[in-house]
Structure 1
Amino acid sequence: RHFSMTSNVRHFPYSHEVLAQLRRRNMCFNSLRELIELNSELGSQTCTSKEQIRQMQQELASLKQEKHELTQSNAELMRSLESGSSGPKFTAMQEELTGLLREKASDKQAIISLNEQIKSLQTIVSKQTDELNACRESLTHHKEALRDKQKQLEENNQSLTTTATELMSKNLEIERQREQIQKLQSENNQLVQLIKSLKEAEADKHNAIVIMNEEVSKKKRESELLKGASSMQLSEASGTGMIDALSGRDRILSFGSTRPTVVKSSILAHERAEIHSLAHNASGSMLLTGSDDRTVKLWDSRSGTRLSSLEIAVKAVMCVAFSPDGHLGLAASGDLSVRVWSLKTTRVLHTLTGHTGKIYTARFATDSRSVFSSGYDRKLKLWDLGKGLVSGTMDCSSSCNDAAITREGAQIITAHLDASIRFWDVRTAQFAHELSGVHTQPITSALLHPANANQFLTNARDDTLCLVDMRKYDVVRTYRHAAYKNGVNWNRAAVSPDGQFVAAGGSEGAVFLWDLATGAHLATLTGGHTSAVAACSWGDNDQLASIEKEHKMVLWE
């Protein structure tokens, strides 16, 4: 019999096994049907053979009777001959005897042929009987196997029914849980929207306070500038004296950043070597450059005068930076090390080793007493300069091209080859958050907004720059231009000190300027570079500087 729930249980866990067992049962039935048909055919043939044997036996008995009669007739004839009978009657009887003898010989031959046929038929009957017995034994065996299969099938059907009942119960439970989850998700979405609204309101209040504070600070700086402008003079000292003067110089304050338009100075900074990195000190009075020639060079940002040159690495210098207090310099290189030196004495104070791949970025923490670094080996390392040892290592999951630290020093932002931005807790040395979808290609730089501690700017190989809000983990604004192409994996963008302008260098040698607040493209500065621009830096003295891969540094005004 067929299982009535076949169409309803095709998705049950036991459906395939049950179907297989049904097919095996059908095969058993088919084989038994063939055996039964063969048995019937053999029985029919046996009956036919027995009927033929019976007819032959009857013919044989008839022939024996005729033989007996002929023998008696022959005996009578012999007695008649012995009694002296002769003449025509004798001759007739002798001819009759001769005919009878011939018939007797023919009958004997027929009897022999019939005996042979009987033996052949008996052999066939014996063989068919053996085959019939074998078929009966096989039939008995298959019947027993069929009973076992039927019993097993009934057990499986019962188990399947139980499973189907349990499955229906589980499905009902899943539906109830799904409805509960949907309800919770709806409530969660409402809470998220409420929290988002509250955060936006809080952010608006905070931004208003920041703007008010900036206005107060700006007016205060303007007042101090007007009072001290007549007495401010710069020393013309050289060597160490000049570095001390520049390092200790107060920040030059202005009424707002001026948009650069032309080349002020074009300097062959590193002959016959690609330049990879550029950085201003805190006051904007000095510049550092690092290149393939394994050197770092210190420059006066106003005059473009070289103050010192230090061969500090074994391989290319990929990143340079000043300490916030202005006393130390930092260089990260392809020889898997970060070196920290004194700007005053040019003596290397620390050589920090532990990375297993080229280091692309390194920065001082806000207290100038620690350093963080990252690069090709996908590790972010924290270094304690007091001990000269690593204080924490974090797995970034992707090569890091640049990094920045928040003003309070609590969080590090890293920009990665996989187009993701990751956030790290400095205190616990643990991963905090990952932001994806801002860019579609490797991110080449990340730097803080100089006037808004809650925002930072990114640059990427998808030829866009993005201003990102750290509180909402959301893009505030995107900067792009049809002619702008980011040509270097460590291409660093820059923001003016007052937060008005964004600058980034393109692959054809031009420097592009955008309005930070609106995202509008303002200008494309040309005539300074002839190859891909690798970095821009905007010092607090309102000085924009840029470097190209082919040896040159340009100061703009």
Structure 2
Amino acid sequence: MPWRRLIPISGFDHKVNIAHSHILTCHTDAVLSIVFSPDNQTVALASQDKTICLWDASTGQEIRRLADHTEVIWNIAFSPDGKTLASASKDGSVRVWDVATGQETQRFLGHTGAVWSLAFSPDGKILASGGSDMTMRLWSIGSGQEARVLKGHTQAVLSVAFSPDGRTLASASADRTIRLWHRSTGGEKARLLGHTGFVWSLAFSPNGALLASGSKDRMVRLWEVSTGQELRQMRLRNWQEFVYRLPRLIGFRFKYDNWVNSVAFHPSGQTLATGSYDHTVRLWEAATGRQLARLTGHTKSVTSVAFNATGTLLASGSVDRTIRVWTLG
């Protein structure tokens, strides 16, 4: 199958084309995390089979495989310069890999259970990780040491994210809360309440003004970072959408047939992508909450979605062991 096969999709103003590749030769189990390198040249995939695969984004050819974790790899992240890749695993470790050589360069140990999530700071100096031990830990890339432990959640920390300016960290938990933290002090600055199920995924808008969250409660919520307020401008009632606008910002919430596993903002900040347990990828207009497209093809839960840096490609990974790359025209 060709790496790119363009097919028009209705429902997105005829500007979306689909390009997908079934990747069955690398992973033998569910694809749990997918991310593009900052230069758009490489796609990294992490799997339940304990391996990471690096692929050439233009050809779909496998570059190399990283296989040193002893348990499931839940999350991966490229450093801002794209030279290193970090991985979080059920084996309790956070590892940093040299992308060019595939060699492990650092290993961070400190979590007392599975590590669910991680994120690099925008300056690349700090790596944040969240674990089943209910903590978020900050690791210094320069010294290789643990810089700080952030405590407050009462269940596993499932997702972590840095704001674009690097001053704020967000964490999402199985305790159904989202917390915002000061990077400089480690102090909690806000607690975002509203979800009634595990909060699986977080994403800041490119300008840092908004934070999107996806949950097992079947909702995607949009929060105003400066105030910590949920923006409830769209709700679904009897599966019909009603949009309510506020003078300053327009937010929304969605209800799904099943829970939301992953959320990602388009680099423009105008579109939000979600991956769901109902096997679909959906695109939403951030200004109104209008669903732009419902992308089908996966046969099992969609675990991860990611835009490339230019916003021309959207990749999705699934429990069905495949990734699909959707071309946005």
With the length of structure 2 as denominator, give the TM-score of the two structures: 0.84
Corresponding position of 2:211? 456
Corresponding position of 1:424? 181
Change (3 A) 1:326 1:367: same
Q: Which amino acid aligns with 1:321?
A: A
> 2:118, 2:130 within 8 Å by CA — same for their partners in 1?
yes
Distance of 2:219 and 2:97 partners within structure 1: 35
Q: 1:376 aligns with which of 129, 132, 137?
A: 132
Residue 357 (structure 1) aligned with residue 113 (structure 2): yes
Gaps of 5+ in 1: 1-256
Corresponding position of 1:534? 303
Give matches, 1:169-318, under 5 Å. 259-268=15-24, 270-318=26-74
Q: CA deviation at 1:550?
A: 2.4
Q: 1:475 aligns with which of 199, 207, 230?
A: 230
Change (3 A) 1:448 1:492: same
Q: Which amino acid aligns with 1:486?
A: W
Q: CA deviation at 1:405?
A: 0.5
Deviations 1:201-231 (A, max 9, x none): xxxxxxxxxxxxxxxxxxxxxxxxxxxxxxx
Q: 1:486 aligns with which of 259, 272, 275?
A: 259
Deviations 1:153-195 (A, max 9, x none): xxxxxxxxxxxxxxxxxxxxxxxxxxxxxxxxxxxxxxxxxxx
Deviations 1:497-556 (A, max 9, x none): 212222112223221121111101122111x21111101101123110001012111111
With a CA cutoff of 8 Å and minimum separation of 6, indicate the structure with the bigger relative contact order. Answer: 2
Residue 403 (structure 1) aligned with residue 160 (structure 2): yes
Change (3 A) 1:271 1:346: closer
Distance of 2:25 and 2:171 partners within structure 1: 29
Which SS does the other structure have where 1:345 is aligned? coil
Q: CA deviation at 1:352?
A: 0.2
Change (3 A) 1:545 1:414: same
Change (3 A) 1:386 1:540: closer
Distance of 1:338 and 1:503 partners within structure 2: 27
Instruction: Looking at secondary structure, tell me which structure has more helix per residue.
Output: 1
Corresponding position of 2:98? 342
Q: 1:511 aligns with which of 281, 285, 292?
A: 281
Corresponding position of 2:321? 551
Residue 433 (structure 1) aligned with residue 195 (structure 2): no
Corresponding position of 2:293? 523
Which SS does the other structure have where 2:288 is aligned? coil
Gaps of 5+ in 2: 1-12, 232-250
Distance of 1:366 and 1:269 partners within structure 2: 33
Q: CA deviation at 1:369?
A: 2.2
Q: CA deviation at 1:484?
A: 4.0
Distance of 1:507 and 1:459 partners within structure 2: 11
Q: CA deviation at 1:261?
A: 4.2
Corresponding position of 2:144? 388
Q: Which amino acid aligns with 1:494?
A: A
Distance of 2:90 and 2:14 partners within structure 1: 37
> 2:33, 2:74 within 8 Å by CA — same for their partners in 1?
yes
> 1:340, 1:351 within 8 Å by CA — same for their partners in 2?
yes
Deviations 1:286-325 (A, max 9, x none): 2111112211111222332222111031111110000001
Corresponding position of 1:66? none
Which SS does the other structure have where 1:493 is aligned? strand
Distance of 1:389 and 1:441 partners within structure 2: 34
Distance of 2:63 and 2:106 partners within structure 1: 22
Which SS does the other structure have where 1:313 is aligned? coil
Which SS does the other structure have where 1:264 is aligned? coil
Q: CA deviation at 1:270?
A: 4.0
Change (3 A) 1:259 1:420: farther
Change (3 A) 1:271 1:325: closer
Instruction: Looking at secondary structure, tell me which structure has more strand per residue.
Output: 2
Distance of 1:496 and 1:269 partners within structure 2: 29
Deviations 1:216-249 (A, max 9, x none): xxxxxxxxxxxxxxxxxxxxxxxxxxxxxxxxxx
Work out the number of aligned pairs and report it: 294
Which SS does the other structure have where 2:252 is aligned? strand
Deviations 1:321-345 (A, max 9, x none): 0000111100010110000011112
Distance of 1:467 and 1:332 partners within structure 2: 26
Distance of 1:548 and 1:391 partners within structure 2: 34
Q: CA deviation at 1:265?
A: 2.5
Q: CA deviation at 1:428?
A: 1.4
With the length of structure 1 as denominator, give the TM-score of the two structures: 0.51
Q: CA deviation at 1:259?
A: 4.8
Q: CA deviation at 1:269?
A: 6.0
Corresponding position of 1:366? 122
Aligned-pair identity in percent equals 28
Distance of 1:408 and 1:311 partners within structure 2: 33
Change (3 A) 1:271 1:347: closer
Which SS does the other structure have where 1:386 is aligned? coil
Change (3 A) 1:530 1:424: same
